Structures are given as structure tokens and as C-alpha cells.
Structure 1
Amino acid sequence: MTTLVDRLLRKFNLLPKVVVAASASSALAQVKRIEDLRNIPRYPPFMEGLPVHAPWVLLTTQKELTGGIQQLIANQELLETHYNPAMLRLATLVQLLPASQAHHHRGAGGMLRHSLEVGLWSLQQTEGKLIRGVVTPQQRRVIEPRWRLTVFLAGLCHDLGKVVTDLTVTDRENSQKWRPYNQSLYDWAISHGIENYFLHWQEGRGKKHTHVSSTLIDAVISKETLDWISDGSTDALIWLTESLNNNPGSSNQIHNFVVRADQLSVERDLKSMGAAMAGYEIGVPIERYLTDIMRRLVQEGIWRINEPSARVWNIEGITYLVWPMAGEEIARRTRDEDIPGLPKTPDGILDMMIEREIAFLREAEGDPFFYIAPDVITEKIPDMRLKAIRLRDQALISSMPIPPISGQIHSSKASSQNVPSTSVEHVERAEEMPPQPQHVSSTSVERLSEKCLSLDSLEGAMGELLRVLIGEFNLGKKSFADLGVKDPNGCVYLKWPDTFAGYGFTPKQILTELSNMGWMIPASEVAKIGDAVFSSGVAKAIKLTADVGRLFVVDDQPVSEATEKTAIDTVQPSSSLSADSIAEPVAAEVSTSAIRKPAQKARTKANPSDAVVTKPKLPVISSHSGNPNASVSTPIKTRKGKPIEKTD
């Protein structure tokens, strides 16, 4: 019914002339099924239920946990007979049920995940533990594997009672109800043709599940396993039922393992996926995107943990990320995946992490970063310190506990440079010298035009390693004359892998890090390592950029004489070269008319290894630049005076 007021309001355009209600009714009348609206978000959300999946598929999603269990048990027969069947039966029983309604592991699959975590971490605690009352080696061989299996099963089954006391499961129409004592959830769903099942939480459930968990062990633990555990002694079975009922006796030797593992699992989940992310369910959950990226970097092995060249360090229980290298790798992922809402630069990511309290900087005055010195590195390189930020909790980046290692935390990297004051002055003096006129390639020009590096600006593990290496050259602990050579362009060749021996880094780590930092020039498109002429002759070498090379200034060879050494450069591959010719080095043309001053001659007598020094006039000569049939033979003299014939 239209009133006079309505007509007046429409006349003055204060009400729409089309009746909205009528149009809405006609639109809804065309919708035949509620599924047509499922793509439109609404509150409360549509109830979809949890899907049914094969048990082995569910275990595949928890590979890091099942794999950890398999690594702890060396006996393959035990795994296949007792451990693996128990995990499979658990997945058959609980499917994707959550472990709680609004607390820990509250998402789909939470109960399976939580049970596997507690089982694994309970089992880990038995490593190196002795069983009270077991005296002889014969007793230990029989009882220990049964005891460890019992500990694992106690952790695996500790929450089984929740499927009875905490919730009920039905089909969509609520016409079929799952009865846990009758059959597993998977078997029930398959027998009734149910694709999605629905949960109904019980009120006032409290901790009632602890009283009935032991009544369901037959659903997870086979009779064969129970029989094997009880062979020789029934103590393990008694401890198992006591632990599941949360009523351990004074002699129980498994319950405390389960309690600690359960507490750890709950704590880590609340920090990583539970309470730590509360309040971000609506909108773009950028913290979840960020933690997901960091977790993937760890899982994929890009971020190593607690080892040389690692990005993640747990020093005395506090987790650190090496910065800015970790930030650059996060930023690369955000750019590649074009994730909305996440910064695309390391600085932007750091600001966001600090703002959201995912990570922290130092609050004291001075340098805001932490400088960590893990013992595993300082044992090899005493003064190495890594710039880092402190992570709020390790659970943000790893679902598995990261073991702590020993180390020191410093407020600055002042003492990380093993370089005496005279060496620093030497470097500064060399930086003030005007550049010598020389021909460089376009690639070298681009590199030299970049921002000049200094010892202080060398970042990360490789930066610290180079800083220590330069310091050892300057202190005479290592001989640059034996291990290094600088070409006319300022690039430095370092003998490979001799130069980097004893620092605790693998060759792969060194090559990868130097390449990622842009400090190394590959020998060719197919190889990072080439050849160079050192005092002892031709040897394998890696080539550092001129920007890094300018930092290698040693007392016995200042920059003005650095070009007296010779090097073999690698021919850049072209379409006219074969794969074999790409790998062939081309000798530098040198002059044998080196003239030394009297003082230098006296020094030559004192040090026979410096007998002959030759000056290159051209850094590279390629036989392919002229007549392809021509053969150029160039003698190269080493410091020992022995010519090397190279035919291009």
C-alpha cells in the first residue's frame, strides 16, 4: 500500500520510484538451489562439513611428522609391524576432526596433527634415556624397543576420548550418527555413502575425555602390537593405560614424556596458527601470508638452520633471522607470487614485521640489529658475527622444534673484523688512490659503477667470511701470493677451494652465497669455477668482482703492483663455439721485460718464491677474434720463473 507521504517523497525524488523489495523478491524466486549462492560470502557462513579422505592420503599431508618418526626408528620391521599401522588406524578413526572447538589445533585435521606431534615428541624424549629396573644388556635389548613403542602409542592416543565426550558427527540431514565404538569415522562414512560430515560440539565437556581415552585403544593399537608389548613384562601396558587415563602410578615411566610433548604441541600451535593470529580472520591476513612464505623457505631447504650459511639460528632458545639476506628472499617470493598487501622490499618487510611484532630489533641505543656469534661458526672463525633480527617465536616458521645451540649475542659487529689498524689504514689509503687508466669490458663498467663496497658493508655469512679472509691475508696468516691474484681490471681470483678451507662452509654454500650476493663472476654460462695462474702454476679458481677485489689489499702487494700478477680469463661463449671450447681458458698476453728496483732485487733473494714477476699488457686475448685457424702460443712466467705454454 502506497501512502500519501510516499507519493510526495517520490515526487521530490526523496524515494526511489522502483520498489526494491519487489525486485529482490523476483530475483530470489529465480534461485532454485542454495548452492547457487555459495560463492557469495555471508555471515554465518554456509555449512560445508568436512570431506572424507582415504587414511593414507591424510598421512601424506603430515609427512614431516611421519618422516620424523621413521627416522627415529631404525628397525624397519618394527615400523611396518607396529608404528605405521597405528598411524594409519588413527587416520582412519579421526579423519579431519579438529582437536578442539576454539583452542589449539582447532582447524580441520587438527586432532590427527596434534596426536602425531605428541607421539613424535614423546618418542624423541626417550633418546638416550635408561629404564629404571633394567640392569643387564639382555634385558635392555628386549624391553627398550617395547618401552619406546609404548611411549609413542601413549602420545598418539592421549586425546582419543574426545571423539566420545567432546563432539558428535552426523551427515548433512542429521539422520546418520557416527558411533566411535562401532566403527571408524572413515568406515562409517563409506558405508553410508557420506561425502561430507558435520560436527556438533557438546557443552560442559571439560576434561572428560581423559577418563575414556583408554577405552578406544583397540581402534588404534592392534592386538598383535599389544601382544608384542606385553611379551616379557606387563609394566608397559599398565603404564600405557595409566597415562591415557591421566592417573599415573609412582613407577610410571612414560606419562611425563606425554605431558611435556602435549604441552609443547599446544603451545606451539597457539603461537603459530591459533591465538597468535586471532583478530585477523577478516580481510587480508598478511601475517599468515608472511609466515607461510617463511615456513616454505624452511621446508624447501632454502633457509638452513643452525649451520654455516644458515638464515635461521636458535641461540640459547631465542630464534634469529640473518638480515637482510632473509628479507631479500622473502621479498623475492612476494614479488614472484605477487601477494597483495605484502611489501616487496626487505626494508618494507622488516617494517611490517616490527609493526606487527613478528620480529624485534634491539631497544638500546646504537645499532638496532642483533649480532649473533654461533659457536659452530666461531670455532672456525673466532670473530665472525652475523647481523640479525629476533623472531617472536620459532613456531612462526617451523612446525618442528628447532633445537637451541650455544653462542653469543652482541650489540655491534665492531670486533668481527679481524683486521689490524694498519691494515685498515692501508685500505683507506688505497681507496684514495686515483684509478689507473685501463681497458675494461662493458660488464666490468656496470659492476664498477655500482655502489662501492667497504669492509663494513659486507653482509651475511659470506660477508663475514670475506672480512675474516681479508684480515688473515693482512695479518699474514694466509698468503695472498699463494692463494690470490688480481687482474688489471681489479677482479680477484682465489684458488679454489684451498682459500676457503677450514671455515666450516661447504663448497656449494660458498658458491651459492657469493653468487646470490652478486660478488662472484661465473667462469662461463655453464660453470662457476675457472682457471687462473698462481705462483705455483695454473689452478682452479673463482673470480670475485672488482668491487669486492678492491678490498683485497695486502702489505706485500699494494694496489699499484697488483696488476703484476697474471690470470687466465674465460672466453665468453658464443654461437660459433662448441661446448668444449667454452670451457677452454684463454691465456693472458704478458710481457717478460719486468724491471725491478735494487730494493726489490734484495727482497727477491730473501724470498725465492718471488723470483719472477710479469706484467700483463692485455687482460684477455681470444684466438677466435682473428683468423680462426691461427694458433697463438703465449708463454706465461710464474713467480718461480717456469714458463707455461698455452695454445689458443
Structure 2
Amino acid sequence: MFTRLKTFLTGSNQRGSIKRIELYGLDNLDDDSIGYPPNPQGIPIVQPRVLRERLESEIQFIRNELGMTFDDFDLYILPVMETLITYADLLPASEYKHHSTGGGLIAHSFDVAKRAMRDAQHTQFPKGHGFLSDTQRSNIQWKAGTVLSALLHDGGKILADLIVTNGDDDNELIWDAHSESTIHEWAARNEIERYFIRWRKQRHQKHQNASLMVMQRLIPQATWSWIDTCYDGKQIHSAMLSAVANADLSHPVSKIVAEADSASARKDMLTKNSHITKEVKRAPLSEILADLMKHYVLTNKWDINRKDAPVWFVNEDLYVVWSSAIPDLLEDMHAMGYMIPQVPEVLARTMIEEGMALPNGDEPLFAIYPEILGDAKKPVKLSVLKIRNVERLVIEQNKLYSISEHKQKRKAPPIIDIPPEELDIPEIPPMTQHQKRFESSLDTIDRVLGGMSTNNNKQDLGQTISTVEDEHKTAGPQPCFECDVAKFIHSKFDYDTVNGSINVPASDLLDVIIAMQESGWDLDDARAAITDSHEVSINE
């Protein structure tokens, strides 16, 4: 950093200018606009020492547990960390997914490095061309290389994914991420107090090759030489490049970094705080569910194309057996405090509405008949959700083997000619005469309720309520519920309670809603309360 400043600054006031630039900006991080997407005020310029001090505990944690001597750590690892801190500044790690607030990229990088370090501590790295003892003597370089790969795995996002500007449309200044100047130095020279971020389109996974450039740029020659001087040095160097490029997950280094990255993103998506100001953030539900599914696949919790597997790759398309996926997803979501609908169909339609999955016409699920299940005469049917992009859930999609379906299920049924006068055509009720092209998650509740808003007859309602109350008297000790809708349903109806959740048959939803209306609930409020409650399950 100081070498770059000396190259830029000349004249007798060189030392004073360096000090002035070093002290330019805020001396704290107490600014509400640190967060992404930024409000019109942008992200503030903060003095580098403040960010370095904030990350001191992260640095010391790795320093104490990596197993290197403190002198070697300070000589070979610490310079990489400090250079990354000044280079990444307060940039987020993503636009709206994980670690999407100010300082998110640095927070994510150090979190992945810590996770990778822990995994590397009990990993037996592959033996090179020498003896096993040679690899064991190279163990500290293996661990250091793993930590550095994890630390820099997303560094390419600075080059490939985003553009930093001064936010002035009339006189726009853009920071050159390839230059020797950091964001802070660029801002100080141009007297910029806040900067803005513009995300590049179609950037998915393009940062991985750029991360290789950042790795070569941020790791000094002394560190590379120290790694190369051990017996497995060349193999370690090659493994680091593969890990940052997200290639060859069969190698321990790549697998450790990929799993640490996934675990860090998953944890952040399931929490509601930013990294510095503790502000509440919200991510699309489909993104959280997709990250969970990606984590299950990466950690081998979910199999692909096997008997009882939740994920299938058929005819080059990726499908999730939705009924098998829901229990795992709900367990994780509820464990982190999310109160989301427990109706599988509603969650499937949410995935479709937010662009994560594709619909099957008006229906949310597809039917597939994998060739490895059953036979041509008795194929096994799976009801599945079709994922829009394979790479969203599977990192190494090039290693997926696509299977086919049983062909018999595609045979059209025989056509029987029936005279028109013999056809029994039922009368179409008014509610179905103007169906939407695609049913939304909220429409699903409307359909299940059976169009009760068009049958709001006071006399019938009174009779129904009387019948409901007579048939569903509850005796004995009362379970403890937190939400009002669960308390109400339990007081009026005699439904089973499993794991703290009332199981309401879909056929009884009309009765439940009518009872709620008679007790003063608004129709829309009643629908929303049932859909959103984690203590009410609708069984179709």
C-alpha cells in the first residue's frame, strides 16, 4: 500500500499527503447506510485501520489455531489478509443473497477461512510422489494453502461481478479494480465520501476464473516460495488453484473450501442480521430454500438418481421430489426461527413465482417416471418440482449423468367416440369460468377454501357454525399454543396435534374459516393467519 502511495505522491509534502490520505474518511462504522442494497446515500468511506481493527479477532483466531509459528504466520499469511481487507473494503458478497450488506465480502471470506481451517486440521491430504512422511512434513503448508484458498475464493467478485462508482450520473467516476489503487485511495484522491455499487448482468459463476487473478495478485512472492519449498509444494499450488476455480471436488482442498463456502452462505441466509450494524435483512424465500437444497446436495445429505433420492436428473432437467424435500427444509427453517407456510403446494408455488422453479402449466409439480425405478409395465411415478437452473443446486453439473424415463407412460390413452347426446357435461360453477393461467400460492388457499366468499349466506353460516361447535367439542388438558389462530382452532375443533402443530384437513378449511368469521375475523386475515402459522398444518 505504501509503495503505491509513494509512486503516486511526489514533492516535499509527500509524508504529510500520505498521512492525510490515511486519515481520510470516517473513524468508525456507525453509519446506517452500511448495507446493501444501499439507500441513495451510498456506502461511506471508512479509514482502513478501522476495518482492520474490527477484524483483529478473526485474524487472531486463525493465527492461534492454524498451527504455524507466529513469526511464520505474520510473514506469510497476515500480509494476504491485510491486503484483502484493503482491497475488498466494505463491498458486499452478493446483490441480495448471502452476505449482501456492507462489509459482507470480508465477513464471508474470513468465515469461510475459519471453517476451512477447522476441517483441514483433521484431514489427511493425498500423498504426493514421495513417501507419506514427506506429505506429513508438508502438512502445515497444506493447511495454510487451504486457508488461503478459502479466504480468496470469492475475491474475483470484485473484478467480475460489480462496478464501484461515485454515484454522480452527470460526472461519473469509476474505480478501476485492476489498478494499484484501493477503493479508499481512489475516494481520497477524488474527494468522494460515499460510493455506490452497480451489479453486472449475467455474472453467475464468472467470478471463479477472476478469483484466480486475484489470488495471484494478493498472495506475495514470499508466500508462494514458502509453499513451493516443501516437498508437496507443487501439488499444494495446483490444489489451491483448483479450489478457487471450484473445480475437482474430489480433492480434499476443493471439497473443504466448497463445503465451508456453502455452510457460511447457508448460515447467513438463515439469519436476519447484517454484519456490522445488526440491521434486519430479508432474502427471498426461494433463495433460502435453494441454498439449503444446495447444501444438502454438496454435503451428500441428499442423493441424486438413486432409490428414495430427493433429487433426480432426468432428460437433462433437475427435479426435486417435493414431498421428500419438505421435511428437511421445514426443520431447518423452523430451527432458525422462520415461520413459513407448511403446505407443500404453497411453498412450491412460491418457488415458481420467484423464478427458482418452472410450472407444469397450471400445476406446480411434474410427474416423472425414472427408468431405474419399476419397469415398463409398472413404472414408478414421482411428483417433482422442476428447478430452473441445474447449477443453482449442483456445483459440478458436468459430472451429473442424466437418466431417461420409461417410455410406456408417454403412450396416449385410446380414443373412444361418444355421441354428443350421450355426454354428461357437468355445469361449470361461476368460480371456474374465469380461471387464471397460473395459480399463485395465495390462490391455492382460495381454491382449498372452495370459493367461500361467493357463498356467504348468513342463515347457512349460522347453521354450519352450530354444527361445527356441536361436533368438535374438546375435552381434557389443553396444549399450549403461541399464535391466536392455533388457539382458536383448538378451542373450536377436535383435530390431532402432532409436534406442536394442529393438523387441519383441507376439506374442513371452509368450516374453520366460517367459524373464524363468526368470531370477528376478517376473511383475508383468517386466510393469512392460517397460511403463515407454523402451528397449523393443512393436510390435503
TM bucket normalised to smaller: 0.3 to 0.5
Q: Kindly name which structure, 1 or 2, has the bigger radius of gyration based on alpha carbons.
A: 1
Q: Whose strand fraction is larger, Structure 1's or Structure 2's?
A: 1
Q: TM-score, normalised by structure 2?
A: 0.42
Q: Whose helix fraction is larger, Structure 1's or Structure 2's?
A: 2
Q: TM-score, normalised by structure 1?
A: 0.35
**Whose RCO is larger (CA < 8 A, sep 6+)?**
2
